[in-house]
Chains A and B, each alone.
Chain A
Amino acid sequence: MPIHEQSLIRPENLKTHDELVMDGVDVSGHWSTFIESRVVTDYNEAMQDEIAALPGGEHIHRCWQCGSCTNSCTVNAINPDFNPRYWIYLARMGMESELLRDKDIIWQCVSCNKCTYACPRDVVPEGVMKAMSHWLELKGHTPMSPSMHFDEVFADQVIERGKIEESRVMQRFFKRTGQPLFQDWFVEMVKQMLRHLPVGMLARMGLASVLAPSTSGWSRARDAIREYADEQHGKHRRALGLDNLIETAKQDAGAPARS
C-alpha cells in the first residue's frame, strides 16, 4: 500500500475479528481486518460563526487555504501536526469531530504572529488560533490551562481593587490549580524576605496582604470594567449557544451572570 494511503488509516478505524464468518464462509485470518470508512457526512454550519464571534476569530471566513500560515509557523517547524491552515479549514466547514482530534495541541500556538504577516488575505491566523483555543475551553473540550487560571486570578484582582496584592494572587492561583501553598521554593523565598527586607517594608506588606487596599476612588472604574467584562463573557457564551434562555434573559437585563 502506498505510504500516502497508509497515513490515511487511523488505528481506531482498523477492526480486527479473531473469528469471522460471512455468508457461511469462514474469513478469519488476514481477511478479518477491516478499515472503517471516514466519510464526512455533513457540515456543522454554526462552527465558523462561533469561532468568528470570539476575539481574534473575526476574519476566519476569508481563508482560501494557501498554507502561508502553516509554512511560516514556528510551532509547525517543531511539530508537523501543528497545522493552522488545516484547522482553519475544519472550523470553516464545521468538521468538529476532526478538529477535536487535535484539541491537545491547538493551544500550543506561541503567538509569534509570523502567520499574521504572511497571510495574503489578512485572516490573522494567530487570532484565529486564540479564538479556537478559547472555543475549545468554553465548550468544555479542553480544561482551563494553568496560565489561563493565573490570568483570571490576576485580572480579577486588578478589576476588583485597581491593583494587585502578590501574596493573594499566589494563594488563589495555587488553590485553583490544586497546588499546595507551602512549596519549598515559596517557603524559602518568604524566609529570605523576612531575613533581608527592612522591617518597615515588611510591616507594610503584611498589612497590605491582610487589608488588601484598593486604589482610591476605584469603585466606579471597577463597576464599569466588571460590567464590560461580564457583557463580553456573556456575549461569547451566547454566541456558542452555551447559556439557556433564562440566563440569556438575565444577561440582557444587565444582571451579572458570570459562571
Chain B
Amino acid sequence: MADPAVLKQLRETLRGLETGGFRRRPSLPFGIEALDSRLADGGLRLDALHEVAAGTSDMADDCAATLFLAGIAARAWGPVLWVVRRRDLFAPGLAQSGLDPKRLIYAEAKDDAELLAVMEEGLRHRGLGAVIGEARRADMTATRRLQLAAEGGRTIALLMKRAAREGSDPISPPSAAVTRWRVASAPSTKLPVEGVGRGRWKLELARQKGGEGFEITVEACDATGRCALPPAMAHRKAVASGSARRRAA
C-alpha cells in the first residue's frame, strides 16, 4: 500500500492540473455532516456533472431518484431546466420537494442525442441554476461534453440515467461525471399511529472523483428540498415501545 501522504500530494497535483491553478469552486452541501464530510468537495460541485440512477428498474426507485434530483435543484439558485423524454413529471409532487413550479422550465427531447445537446445549451447559457436530463445512453464523449460545458459556470448539471437495456446497470459505463449516485427506496419506520411516515432512501455513492464511494440511508426531501438523517436508535426504541403499549391497551 502506498504512503497516504504521497497519495494526497499526487491528488492535489492532479486537481491543480485540471483547473489550471487553484480556484475556489462553489459547491452545494447537503447539510448533513455524515454525507458532506465524505464528499471530496464538501458537497456537490456546482460547476460539474453528477449522475443519478435508480437502484432497481422499479418505477418507485426511479421516482426516488427524481425527487433526489428535484431536491438538489430546489436548493440551487435560479431557474431550472428539466429536459424530459416522457411527460409524466407531476408538478405538485415536485413542488412538495421544494421545486417551485415558477422556477421550472420543461423541454422535451426526441432522443438522447437531442437531450444531451439541449442540456449543453442550458449549461452554456449561465442563467440557469440547474439543468436536469433523463437519458438512457450517454457515453464518455457525451458526458465529457456536458462536464466541459458546466465548468466555469455555476449551473449544476444533473443527469438521470436509466438502464439502456432491461437489467443492465446504468451507472457502470464509463462517464466523466464527478459523482455517480444510486438511489433506492428503503422501508420507513413504523409510526405510533396508522399511516405512512416520511420516505426513506438508500443512497449509494458508486463513484466520486477524488474520494471513496459509500452508502448511507437518509430520509426523503422535505418541502425545502433537504434530506435528513434517520432518527437515532434510542428514538426508534421509544417509537417501538409506544406501539407496544398501544397494542397492549
Same assembly: no
